[in-house]
């Protein structure tokens, strides 16, 4: 008789991000892992860390402590070279604490008005935190550039203005499948799936 799957809670409250995490991670870890959304009663978790890794760990740890289950989280930043790496860890709140995606993109395009060097990268830190504090972490990065204006209707965040290297379309112009195949989040969570399954194998042989 096989062991029941390990239940892991997605710590994010951002439904767009939850959908992407589940779409990338679930096919790689089922049936050994079951992924569930975080309970609605968990309030907002402040991202007070000074790095993407710290923020991902804060979110996962908070949810693991409340639920008593392992929790998975990520934090993602857009780093623009002409802006000295900004918005970086502040990407989600670049235009203010409760800024919308539209407001963040508008501020970014204004900051790059007339700038010819538009090289940038998306970076994701992903982590699973287990009750008791044990954790597994990975990361993923994709290089690209910021377009002159918005293109496409898919995705979220800065997707309408980010063009990955080697391509001519923004993330918002790609299908979800094509985006996940090359994206920062796709790379981080594929690596996390490998590390998570390896940790389960190790524990089963102890």
| Alpha-carbon span 147 to 168, nearest angstrom | 10
| Catalytic residue (choose from 75, 149, 201, 202) | 75
The terminus-to-terminus CA distance of the chain in angstroms comes to 19
**Chain mean position to CA 176:** 14
Q: Which of 6, 16, 5, 130 is nearest to 63 (CA)?
A: 130
| Alpha-carbon span 105 to 155, nearest angstrom | 13
**Contact call for residues 78 and 162 (beta carbons, < 8 A):** yes
| Alpha-carbon span 9 to 7, nearest angstrom | 7
**Is 75 known to be catalytic?**
yes
| Alpha-carbon span 200 to 196, nearest angstrom | 6
What is the total residue count of the chain? 206
Could you give the 3-state DSSP secondary structure of residue 60? helix
Q: Which of 141, 147, 101 is nearest to 122 (CA)?
A: 141
**Contact call for residues 175 and 153 (beta carbons, < 8 A):** no
Catalytic residues: 75
């Amino acid at each position: 008789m096989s062991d029941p799957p390990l239940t892991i809670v997605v710590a994010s409250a951002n439904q767009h991000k939850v959908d992407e995490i589940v779409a990338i991670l679930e096919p790689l870890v089922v049936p050994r892992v079951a992924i569930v959304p975080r309970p609605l009663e968990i309030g907002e978790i402040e991202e007070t860390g000074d790095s993407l890794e710290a923020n991902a760990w804060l979110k996962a740890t908070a949810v693991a402590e409340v639920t008593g289950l392992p929790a998975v989280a990520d934090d993602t930043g857009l780093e623009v070279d002409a802006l000295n790496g900004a918005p970086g860890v502040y990407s989600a709140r670049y235009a203010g604490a409760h800024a919308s995606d539209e407001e963040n993109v508008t501020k970014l395009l204004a900051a790059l008005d007339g700038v010819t060097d538009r090289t940038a990268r998306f970076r994701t830190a992903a982590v699973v935190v287990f009750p008791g504090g044990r954790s597994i972490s990975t990361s993923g990065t994709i290089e690209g550039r910021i377009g002159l204006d918005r293109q496409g209707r898919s995705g979220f965040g800065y997707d309408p203005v980010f063009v990955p290297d080697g391509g001519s379309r923004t993330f918002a112009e790609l299908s979800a499948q094509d985006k996940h195949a090359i994206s920062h989040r796709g790379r981080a969570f594929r690596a996390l799936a490998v590390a998570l399954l390896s940790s389960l194998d190790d524990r089963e042989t102890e």
